[in-house]
Amino acid sequence: MLTTTLSLNRTTRIAFDSQAVHRTLLHATDGKPVLWASPDTKHLVVRHETPVDWIKAIRGVTQAVTLPTQIPAASARINYALIGNPILSQYQGPNKRGKKTPAPPEKWNEWLQRRVGNALNLHSIDGTRLPPAKGKKPDMQTIHHRILFTGRATVKDQDALQTLMESGIGSGKAYGCGLLIVEEL
């Protein structure tokens, strides 16, 4: 598992359309799914399995720094960062799917704890609202409400943490949500 930070030039518009980023990353990785996040309009962070020549694969990439993804051992103290899409499902009646709505700020910490509680003991959580990720599909526009979670934690279960880091957290993973980054202290 590899994690790459891509620097984009000023004129690259890809970071403004989450559907375009999704399509472009799938093309660059020969259809293999990736997790990605756009912490700002000048950078993409991508978690992928196989090496990619990102400068050739994506127009507008000026620098690509790829490192092996480290999974800290149980009981390790870490800093973490996650751009998440905390949503709640509202009951719509029997035999109907729940309607997904953005979680209110007072529910963000609970949402994060439910998602990572098997892998991490969270010591601190800071949630900051980011601009929504918008994507254009031929028949509709997708909007994912993004929250940047940061804080400190202790690894409870290394295997559970690895699963979270490989598969992502929550919904909207194809559109720039769900990538968990950890750094051992």
Q: Is-above-0.85 flag for pTM?
A: yes
State pLDDT tens for residues 37-56: 998 888 999 999 999 999 99
Is 54 in the same domain as 86? no
Is 25 in the same domain as 44? yes
Domain span at residue 29 reads: 2-68
Give the CB-side neighbour count of residue 121, counting CA atoms within 13 A: 8
Is 116 in the same domain as 160? yes
CATH number at residue 117: 3.30.70.1210
**In which element (H, E) is residue 159 found?**
helix 158-167
CA distance 97 to 56: 42
State pLDDT tens for residues 139-173: 878 888 999 999 999 999 999 999 999 999 999 99
What averages of pLDDT result for each successive group of 10 residues across the chain (185 residues)?
92 74 90 91 92 91 96 98 93 80 95 97 97 80 91 98 97 93 96
